């Protein structure tokens, strides 16, 4: 399979702390790849380096055959890298459709001046954004909720809305930061099913998740980080019996 995302020898320091040290991984077309690791392993830092919210101290990030590590976040978004952050809120006081549309605004080109002047280009983009939002809401099963206030949605469906917002920019690579956190059993399995559907439609997914059952169900491959280093990678069946992984999760106490 062809790699869509390639992270090579990436290091990120914060002062004297190595949040990531010489990390490598790739995400193939249509693959769901999970990154797991104990608290402080460097998972969030890795996501922010891929999304462009942080710069690497060393190393390269390639996407779709080109280096993207020097690009600002909105240019990475335009190329098809979307992030659904666990802590990105659903905007209260806006409808479900308006919340989804926010995701498309991140990848439009007309800019604020065109919006103020209501230029033809801006009007055309608005129509495209509405269509993309409707399509994204349908994909996550929220088409019937489009005109409802977003805060009416139960938590599981708020997560689906966060996904719709990311899908609105029609990405090829979706970065999911702890999508299952705080969800109960049935909501969690509904979300897992939704992510399986997205993968089935050809989307490539990089997933950070603490819920082991979720990772076991969804991930084709898993990369395990500990203290900023990759300590194991492979299928879930393989990494779950890896002594280095067991030691990292038990704090070396077994
Ligand atoms: N902005 C920052 N300034 C200083 N240190 C940071 C910063 N961000 C992260 N770190 C440090 O980098 C290391 C990795 O943190 P990171 O948040 O990436 O881990 P994580 O695996 O996402 O943890 P968790 O599972 O708890 O979210 C930690 O030691 C953390 O304290």
Question: Which domains, and CATH codes, for the chain?
Answer: 1-71+172-193+204-254 (3.40.50.300), 90-170 (no CATH)
Average pLDDT for 226-251: 92
Closest residue (by CA) to atom 7 of ligand 1?
A: 14
Give 215: exposed, middle or buried? Use CB within 10 Å, 0-12, 13-18, 19+: buried
Q: Identify which of 45, 51, 87, 211 to mutate to test ligand 1's pocket (most ligand atoms within 8 A of the CB).
A: 45
Long-range contacts of 228-237 (CB under 8 A, 24+ apart): 228/12, 228/18, 228/19, 228/20, 228/21, 228/23, 228/41, 228/42, 228/45, 229/21, 229/22, 229/23, 230/23, 230/24, 230/25, 231/37, 233/25, 236/34
How far from 44 is each of 2, 47, 135, 141, 233, CA to CA, in Å? 25, 5, 29, 28, 18
Q: Identify which of 7, 11, 15, 19 to mutate to test ligand 1's pocket (most ligand atoms within 8 A of the CB).
A: 19
**Taking 50 as the threshold, does the pLDDT of residue 136 lie above it?**
yes
**Ligand 1 closest atom vs CA 41:** 21
Q: Ligand 1 mean position to 132 CA, how many Å?
A: 34
Q: Which of 29-43, 81-95, 106-120, 186-200 has the lowest mean pLDDT?
A: 106-120
Query: Which residues form ligand 1's pocket by a CB distance below 6 Å?
Result: 14, 17, 19, 37, 39-45
- 254 — pLDDT class (breaks 50, 70, 90): very low
Contact by Cβ (8 Å): 69, 61? yes
DSSP of 148-159:
SBGGGS-HHHHH
Q: Ligand 1 mean position to 74 CA, how many Å?
A: 23
Q: Which of 77-91, 110-124, 208-222, 226-240 has the lowest mean pLDDT?
A: 110-124
What is the pTM (predicted TM-score) of this model?
A: 0.89
**Ligand 1 closest atom vs CA 37:** 21
| First-to-final CA distance of the chain | 37
Q: Give the ipTM.
A: 0.96
**Taking 60 as the threshold, does the pLDDT of residue 144 lie above it?**
yes
Contact by Cβ (8 Å): 222, 33? yes
- 105 — pLDDT class (breaks 50, 70, 90): low
- pLDDT for res 113: 58
Distance (Å, whole) CA 91 – CA 228 = 33
SS3 assignment, position 139: helix
State both tokens at 172.
């090829």
- pLDDT for res 116: 61
- pLDDT for res 121: 72
The answer for residues whose C-beta is within 8 angstroms of residue 253's C-beta and 6 or more apart is none
**Mean pLDDT rounded to a whole number for the chain:** 89
Q: Identify which of 10, 21, 37, 40 to mutate to test ligand 1's pocket (most ligand atoms within 8 A of the CB).
A: 40
């Amino acid at each position: 399979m062809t790699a869509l995302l390639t992270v090579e020898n990436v290091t990120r320091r914060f002062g004297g702390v190595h949040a990531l040290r010489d990390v490598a991984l790739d995400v193939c077309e249509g693959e769901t790849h999970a990154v797991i690791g104990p608290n402080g392993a460097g998972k969030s830092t890795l996501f922010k380096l891929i999304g462009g919210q942080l710069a690497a101290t060393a190393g390269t990030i390639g996407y779709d055959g080109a280096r993207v590590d020097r690009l600002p976040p909105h240019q990475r978004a335009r190329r098809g890298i979307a992030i659904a952050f666990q802590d990105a809120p659903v905007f209260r006081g806006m409808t479900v459709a308006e919340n989804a549309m926010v995701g498309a605004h991140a990848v439009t080109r007309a800019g604020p001046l065109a919006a103020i002047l209501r230029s033809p280009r801006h009007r055309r983009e608005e129509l495209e954004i509405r269509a993309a939002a409707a399509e994204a809401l349908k994909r996550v099963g929220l088409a019937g909720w489009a005109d409802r206030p977003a805060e009416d949605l139960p938590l599981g469906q708020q997560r689906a809305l966060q996904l719709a917002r990311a899908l609105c920019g029609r990405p090829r690579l979706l970065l999911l930061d702890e999508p299952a956190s705080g969800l109960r059993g049935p909501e969690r399995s509904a979300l897992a099913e939704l992510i399986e559907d997205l993968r089935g439609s050809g989307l490539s997914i990089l997933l950070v998740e603490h819920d082991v059952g979720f990772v076991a169900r969804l991930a084709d491959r898993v990369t395990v980080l500990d203290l900023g280093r990759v300590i194991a990678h492979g299928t879930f069946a393989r990494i779950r019996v890896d002594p280095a992984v067991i030691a990292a999760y038990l704090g070396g106490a077994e």
